[in-house]
Amino acid sequence: MSLKEFFIRLAQQSDSAGSDGSAPSEAEVVARVEELLTQLEAGTARAATRSADGTWQAHPWVKHGILTAFRHSETVEMEWPGGAVDKSLVPARQMAPGDGVRVVPGGTSVRRGAHLARGVVVMPPSYVNVGAFVDSGSMVDSHVLVGSCAQVGSGVHLSAAVQLGGVLEPVGARPVVVGDDAFVGAQCGLYEGAVVRERAVLAPGVVLTGRTTIYDLVHGRELRGEVPSGAVVVPGTRPASGAFAAERGLSLYAPVIVKYRDSSTDASTVLEDALR
């Protein structure tokens, strides 16, 4: 039985009122969890993948497997600088030189079941949670959170204090996605299934969810929760509605696309020009 079939069947059994006696043993569940975590680390299993039409689809069976790891874990004391108490089946990963990943010392933790491709650099202190995928050549800067199941492409720069929210439940929910060669400025926050497409640039302080309205000044349109390829987004404001707000000059946060990257333009230069 494949891993996918196993965790789908396990989820169906846990949702049933009774048991027909065919439930797997604890030893089999733990072995299958270990297999899933190993595949997630290798990148051969992923919590979400991109379809041919460009949309991102979550894989509920993978999330079922991760949740199973938590349900079948004991809370144990672990050897870790400063001490740690956590779930036994999802401890911190032990990286090795052969992985081709730099994890700079200073308080960073990468959890089991997280994929870091060759050439990734993680600056301290940062945290990469279970189910996350960070592709080759990406930089995870200081104080960055890559939440559970977040998908980060290759050549991405996650600047200092960037937060990529995690999502395990509901199992069908799309995770946060950052496409190849995107630049995410300092203290940006991406949550609840927000998608940043390839080569997009987010200026410092941009906050997006899967339902945030993004105002495209270049094409005169409104987008919802997804930054197009090559777009340069800055924090903006729009007037709050109603007489009370008008009387007090109140405004609401509104992310704004001010331009699109040119293929020959460096991301940092675009940011500097856009914010000048």
pLDDT in tens, 145-175: 999 999 999 999 999 999 999 999 999 999 9
Identify whether 111 is part of a domain.
yes
Q: What does the pLDDT read at residue 148?
A: 98
- From residue 154, alpha-carbon distances to 80, 157, 213, 218 in Å are 30, 9, 26, 27
Token readout for 264 is 């020959």
Is residue 89 in some structural domain? no
- Within a domain: 62: yes
Report yes or no on 85 lying in a domain.
Answer: no
Report yes or no on 82 lying in a domain: no
pLDDT at 266: 58
Distance CA 123, CA 107 (A): 9
User: Binning pLDDT at 50, 70 and 90, where does residue 276 land?
Assistant: very low
Please give the residue range of the domain that contains residue 241: 3-11+25-74+101-275
Mean pLDDT of 53-81: 94
pLDDT in tens, 15-56: 765 555 578 999 999 999 999 999 999 999 999 999 999 999
262: buried, middle or exposed (CB in 10 Å: 19+, 13-18, 0-12)? exposed
For residue 20, is it within any domain? no
pLDDT of 20 reads 58
Which residues make beta-bridge pairs with 140?
122, 158
What is the CATH number for 247?
Answer: 2.160.10.10
Contact call for residues 164 and 183 (beta carbons, < 8 A): no
Domain count of the chain? 1
Mean pLDDT of 189-198: 97
What pLDDT was estimated at residue 80? 77
pLDDT (mean) for 208-234: 97
C-alpha–C-alpha distance, residues 136 and 117, integer Å: 5
* Lateral strand order in the sheet of 127-128: 109-110, 127-128, 145-146, 163-164, 189-190, 207-208
Task: Please report whether residue 44 resides in a domain.
Answer: yes
Q: Domain for residue 16, yes or no?
A: no
Please report which helix (H) or strand (E) contains residue 214, including its range. Answer: strand 213-216
Instruction: Grade residue 275 by pLDDT with cuts at 50, 70 and 90.
Output: very low
